[in-house]
Amino acid sequence: MFSDAPFYVGYRDANIEPDDIESTQLITGRFLERALERGGIARQFAHLLGWQLAEPLREYDVLVTSGNEPLFYVPPDDQVWVAYIHHTNRRQSDQIAEVASSRVRPLKLLLYYAMRVAYDHNTHKPDRFVVNSEIVKRRVVRYWGVPEEKVAVVYPPVATDEYSPTEEPTGDYYLTLSRLDWHKDIDGIVRAFNESGHRLVVAGDGPERDRLESIADENVEFAGFVSEAQKRELLAGAKAFVFNGRDEDFGIAPVEALASGTPLLGVKEGMTQYHVVPGKNGYHHSRSGVPQSIVDSVERFESQGVSWAPDRIAEFADRFSVSAFHDRVHEVVEQTIDETDVEPDWYADLA
């Protein structure tokens, strides 16, 4: 998107860099590099110390950052800074209720409070925040106290043009695809299909896989990690895509399903609720009613289908395309540059 601009990272892992990307690691020095490699709290402290000055960045007129760690940076006052963030430290904000069942609940709540206090001052330095959905915008305003007018929504770039309804004929299975982790709530989907008897393919891997396989009936198949080519075929061939992730910031996999012309059966919360246009490209189910609400959604889809044809469903997903992302980010950056001009009104007439 900014092909002529240098690219810096706090911590560089060359093993996962694409061949066409050249990056420079900002956080250097023996002590800090060891902390970065150690991970966990040590890595967070390395980011806290390493990003504050980030001297190579200070010479540029415009800075675009991604993620939360760069918010430790303290910029020169004449530098325009656009910060794209993806979440608001969720365990300390919207997911704080997850500590309710913990035996060390008081200690966790005290730690989370300290983290919020320590982090609060970092959320006021960028000229503009960019977030990946209206859901995250709401969180940034509520939990970080950022004025609403300083937050722009730019949906993440989904390679919608790489998916097609014609990639594979529609098969006899439903599909869910994600990392198999607790917050994706795949167990609710598995239990629903145990009850309904319809065929379900679960694609992806993660720490929950063994437990999920132990509760699944014979009509539920586990495909494990799949390649991009396999993913495209599975998405295009599914009768519908089932998604139950908790209060998703955005959700890439549901959009990839829609780009494949596949209807979406999604939970009515987070950004997922807005990916579904009920009766047209899919149906909602409720978190509180799982697994029965998923069973009901599947049966409704079986009996009524959806009104949009696969091509129309795929067209709906184009609002989340890579090109739409590029256009919108450029627009936000240019607007921010204009708005941060501090030259007095009268100066141009005299110069």
- Does residue 211 lie within any of the structural domains? yes
pLDDT at 231 over 70: yes
Do 249 and 287 lie in one domain? The reply is yes
Task: Dig out the tokens for 77 from the structure.
Answer: 């006052």
Question: What is the torsional sign of CA 326, 331, 336, 341?
Answer: positive
pLDDT in tens, 277-309: 999 999 999 999 999 999 999 999 999 999 999
Give the helix/strand (H/E) hosting 174.
strand 174-177
**Spatial distance between the Cα atoms of 166 and 113, rounded to a whole number of angstroms:** 51
Q: How does residue 334 score in pLDDT terms, banded at 50, 70 and 90?
A: very high
Cβ neighbours for 192, distance < 8 A, ≥ 6 positions apart = 290, 291, 292, 294, 295, 298
Domain of 48? Answer: 8-158+322-350
- Does residue 2 lie within any of the structural domains? no
- Does residue 34 lie within any of the structural domains? yes
pLDDT at 263 over 90: yes
pLDDT at 100 over 70: no
Do 106 and 64 lie in one domain? The reply is yes
Do 133 and 79 lie in one domain? The reply is yes
- Does residue 1 lie within any of the structural domains? no
Among the listed ranges 86-90, 231-235, 295-299, which one has the minimum average pLDDT value?
A: 86-90
pLDDT in tens, 171-188: 999 999 999 999 899 999
pLDDT at 258 over 90: yes
**Spatial distance between the Cα atoms of 46 and 44, rounded to a whole number of angstroms:** 5
Do 12 and 122 lie in one domain? The reply is yes
**Spatial distance between the Cα atoms of 200 and 238, rounded to a whole number of angstroms:** 9
Do 242 and 271 lie in one domain? The reply is yes
**Spatial distance between the Cα atoms of 34 and 29, rounded to a whole number of angstroms:** 9
How many Cβ atoms are within 10 Å of 274's Cβ, its own excluded? 14
Please provide the average confidence, as pLDDT, over all residues in the chain: 94
Q: What is the CATH number of the domain that holds 255?
A: 3.40.50.2000
pLDDT at 1 over 80: yes
- Does residue 184 lie within any of the structural domains? yes
pLDDT at 257 over 90: yes
Torsions phi, psi for 53 (to 5 deg): -90, -50
pLDDT at 82 over 90: yes
- Please report the pLDDT score of residue 160 as a whole number: 97
- Please report the pLDDT score of residue 29 as a whole number: 93
pLDDT in tens, 29-49: 999 999 999 998 899 899 999
pLDDT at 99 over 80: no
Q: How does residue 94 score in pLDDT terms, banded at 50, 70 and 90?
A: confident
- Does residue 132 lie within any of the structural domains? yes
Task: Dig out the tokens for 345 from the structure.
Answer: 């009104």
- Does residue 236 lie within any of the structural domains? yes
CA angle 337, 338, 340 (to 5 degrees): 65
pLDDT at 211 over 80: yes
Torsions phi, psi for 234 (to 5 deg): -65, -45
pLDDT at 84 over 90: yes
Q: What is the CATH number of the domain that holds 110?
A: 3.40.50
More confident: 114 or 100? 114
pLDDT at 97 over 70: yes
Do 282 and 195 lie in one domain? The reply is yes
- Please report the pLDDT score of residue 131 as a whole number: 97
Q: How does residue 101 score in pLDDT terms, banded at 50, 70 and 90?
A: low
pLDDT at 70 over 90: yes
pLDDT at 190 over 90: yes
More confident: 303 or 111? 303
**Spatial distance between the Cα atoms of 48 and 44, rounded to a whole number of angstroms:** 6
Do 122 and 18 lie in one domain? The reply is yes
Find the farthest-apart pair of alpha carbons in the chain and give their distance in angstroms, rounded: 80
For residues 145-174, give the mean pLDDT.
96
Q: How many domains does the chain have?
A: 2
Q: How does residue 66 score in pLDDT terms, banded at 50, 70 and 90?
A: very high
Do 72 and 142 lie in one domain? The reply is yes
Do 142 and 213 lie in one domain? The reply is no
Distance between first and last Cα of the chain: 35
Do 49 and 21 lie in one domain? The reply is yes
- Does residue 287 lie within any of the structural domains? yes
Percent of residues, the chain, with pLDDT higher than 90:
80
Do 35 and 136 lie in one domain? The reply is yes
More confident: 199 or 117? 199
pLDDT at 90 over 90: no
Do 106 and 215 lie in one domain? The reply is no
The beta-carbon contacts of 71-78 under 8 Å, at least 24 apart in sequence, are 71/119, 71/122, 71/123, 71/125, 71/126, 72/47, 72/48, 72/122, 73/125, 74/125, 75/125, 78/342
How many Cβ atoms are within 10 Å of 235's Cβ, its own excluded? 26
Percent of residues, the chain, with pLDDT higher than 70:
99
**Spatial distance between the Cα atoms of 254 and 262, rounded to a whole number of angstroms:** 9
